[in-house]
């Protein structure tokens, strides 16, 4: 279910770092690697509600798989959405909807986020799964 290999790779990558300062640096580097979204896509309709910072998210289906584009104005948040895009991008809609994202607990991410960022993470996941549901029916 889901993109197991990418999730396992991420768990291994996070395990390389002993403390959360380094893990945050890694998260920020994931965000920096995420391509910037075109400004014309940064509209109200594409904002993920429930995030403290601005997060924009779009999705499209190609050949039965869902592809996401995302951006944020905050570096940690951009790293978090980049992490999710890495796992979900190019996956069948059904796999996205059914993925329990256990890797998030395994890397300890939720334990190290502020309540606001943790709520934002949940909001991002919900929005990505909602897109997948809609595109699955299309």
Residue 14 near residue 107, CB atoms below 8 Å: yes
Q: How many CB atoms lie within 10 A of CB 38?
A: 11
> What does the domain layout of the chain look like in residue ranges?
4-137
Q: How much is the pLDDT for 128?
A: 98
CATH 3.40.1110.10 fits 4-137, yes or no: no
Does residue 70 surpass a pLDDT of 70? yes
Q: How much is the pLDDT for 52?
A: 85
pLDDT tens-place string over residues 94-114: 999 999 999 999 999 988 998
Whole-model pTM: value is: 0.94
Based on the residue annotation, tell me whether 51 is a catalytic residue of this protein: yes
Catalytic residue among 27, 34, 48, 51: 51
Residue 131 near residue 66, CB atoms below 8 Å: yes
Does residue 1 surpass a pLDDT of 60? no
């Amino acid at each position: 279910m889901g993109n197991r290999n990418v999730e396992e790779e991420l768990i291994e990558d996070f395990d390389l770092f002993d403390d959360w300062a380094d893990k945050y640096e890694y998260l920020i580097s994931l965000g920096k690697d995420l391509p910037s979204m075109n400004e014309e896509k940064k509209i109200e309709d594409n904002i993920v509600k429930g995030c403290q910072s601005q997060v924009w998210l779009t999705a499209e289906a190609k050949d039965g798989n869902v592809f996401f584009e995302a951006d944020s104005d905050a570096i940690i948040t951009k790293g978090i959405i980049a992490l999710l895009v890495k796992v979900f991008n190019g996956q069948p809609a059904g796999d996205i909807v059914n993925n329990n994202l256990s890797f998030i607990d395994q890397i300890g991410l939720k334990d190290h986020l502020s309540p606001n960022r943790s709520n934002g993470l949940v909001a991002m996941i919900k929005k990505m799964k909602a897109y997948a549901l809609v595109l699955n029916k299309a």
